[in-house]
A and B are shown apart, each in its own frame.
Chain A
């Protein structure tokens, strides 16, 4: 018991000491950056105050200590503080780089050679049997590639309208391949077309819905894309009535990448929610702050 009491006292002393040193360093930092004129002013007030209470010694001590510290160590401390600020800026730069890398990864992961090969084979086949359909699929493929490939260079592609356009082209190609096994429903009001929306997120969710939800299901099903404004947020939702989610399946690079980018772009204001509705299948919803238009 005794030993633990002593420990407690020691802990308290240590804590008090920590607190005191924290206050001292804060005062030190303030001294380092404060202008001389302001310092003179505080000296003046302190002198008056302590003169009024008739004990001028603390005031003289204050003036002496602050003068000495400012002259002797102020310059060094100031440099340190500036260095710290530079580090913060560097951290912001690191964050920007991470975002850039995440965006790169998102795009590289998307240009799937399988998809390209199979679509080209499909077009080749359709040229022989159904030239009109071949031309349609060909046009969709061009739309898809145009909005997928140059995304890094053009800065204006990140609107919901553009992303929906890209996904429509992709889904049209998938419909040509899966035929009656794939149905598509879009419920995106026109006025949301200009709302900023990060690239390739909607596309990843749609590809997941087809790959993990509908392709393993014999009779196929429907992909439903919906966008709506809820309060100050934009919700973009991709639902399928496929086989649902296996709780033991890895959540995949695609979803992790979306989460990472949302976090870097919007912090806690955005989220990706996955749920399984009672009727089966899976729903993925991206929530982010709604803006009417991109900043100029």
Chain B
């Protein structure tokens, strides 16, 4: 029987060295045929060498270990290596996927190797693993890790880009007090500065978190957390005071329901 082969993928060279030397001790017959420094390389080398086992780090540049696994699982047995991550561990515990906790200890690796040997022997004799099953598990893992356990939360705009000189200023929405449309531009006001951007209020309204910013006027969006108080002026209009800004913002009649007294 020809010796089993393996691929190691990790973006940190010392981690590859560590896993290689531990593997050589725990499983001397295993041949490490390739080492990859990122996900893209892992897929390339995996397809080139067709190793029996692929040890994949989960967090890698280019392609994550899970994405790489989805391309390789039909030809190689996948073992994930991961630093502590509760979501990943839960996923692994539920499924039948093999994983190693980084940094890899010699004892833990010995157990994993014994299990792998048993599984691959069975695999060779029956030749009937269930790749579809693994494919499904990987798909589940991908969604689980990307959402970090939060069920489909839509992604809102968190940074506003404003041109300042030759560079783009990134203004966090948490700094912004309000947006005000100003003919061709939209004014972005923070406690310290104001910027002009080309995005229209309408576009902002679609992209921002509706719980973070409220529209209070045809031309004004205000960050809810920045509101200090609501007053009525002499003409009976509602006026907003915003923390960190000396002026007042008018609430139009159409939006005054936002600040009705409880």
Interface of B with A (CB < 8 Å)?
11-15, 17-18, 21, 37-38, 40, 59, 61-62, 83-84, 102-104, 155-161, 164, 166-175, 191-192, 234-236
11 A–B pairs (Cβ distance < 8 Å), ordered by A: A7-B236, A120-B103, A121-B15, A122-B18, A126-B14, A128-B21, A177-B12, A178-B11, A179-B12, A179-B13, A251-B158
Instruction: Given A15-B234, A276-B168, decide whether A125 and B157 contact each other with a Cβ distance below 8 A.
Output: no
4 pairs of A and B residues whose beta carbons are closest in the complex: A121-B103, A125-B18, A251-B172, A274-B170
Q: Which of B13, B102, B155 is the one whose CB lies under 8 Å from A118?
A: B102
Chain A contact-residue range equals 35 or more
- Check B164–A255 contact: CB distance below 8 A: no
Contacts of A274 in B (CB 8 A): 159, 169-172
- State the CA gap A234–B213 with chains docked (Å): 33
Q: How far is the CA of A99 from the CA of B13 in the complex (A)?
A: 41
Query: In the assembled complex, which residues on chain A have CB atoms less than 8 Å from the CB atom of B61?
Result: 215-218
Per DSSP, chain A at the interface is: helix
Q: For A126, what are the chain B residues with a Cβ–Cβ distance below 8 Å?
A: 14
How far in angstroms is the closest Cβ of chain A from B102?
7
Interface residues of A (CB under 8 A from B): 7, 11-12, 15, 113-114, 117-118, 120-122, 124-126, 128-129, 176-179, 181, 215-218, 245-251, 255-256, 259, 268, 271, 273-278, 282-283
A125, B84: Cβ atoms closer than 8 Å: no
Q: A15-B234, A247-B160, A276-B168 are in contact. List 13 more A-B contacts (CB 8 A).
A: A11-B235, A122-B18, A125-B17, A125-B18, A218-B38, A245-B170, A248-B158, A251-B173, A255-B172, A274-B171, A275-B164, A276-B161, A278-B166
A114 with B84: in contact, given A218-B61, A251-B159 (CB under 8 Å)?
yes
Q: What's the Cα separation between A217 and B158 when bound, in Å? A: 22
| A residues less than 8 Å from B175 (CB atoms) | 259
